[in-house]
Amino acid sequence: MDFSGVLSNHEYLSVTAYLATCSTLAGLGAIFVILRLGASFKQAGKPYLDGYASIIGLLLLIANFILTHRLQVRE
């Protein structure tokens, strides 16, 4: 399959701007997840199910950024 037209952002966003934006968003997401887990540990002494879901979501977000970047650089 040819995905060259789907992921082509070269006319909208440079690779450097993409990496800076994704890094900033992933960093903000990580801060919110850490705060959420800290509150769970303070209140219950263990993370709730939503804490684990937040961690998985953050990891999926980071994986999405990495894979999208790898596909853009390959073009």
| DSSP code, position 6 | T
Q: Check: CB of residue 71 under 8 Å from CB of residue 3.
A: yes
Taking the C-alpha atoms of residue 59 and residue 75, their distance in angstroms, rounded to an integer, is: 25
Whether pLDDT at 1 is above 60: no
- pLDDT one-digit tens code per residue, 21-66: 889 999 999 999 999 999 999 998 888 888 899 999 999 999 998 8
Predicted TM-score (pTM) above 0.75: no
- pLDDT score of 35: 93
Whether pLDDT at 3 is above 80: no
Rg (CA), the chain: 16
- pLDDT score of 47: 84
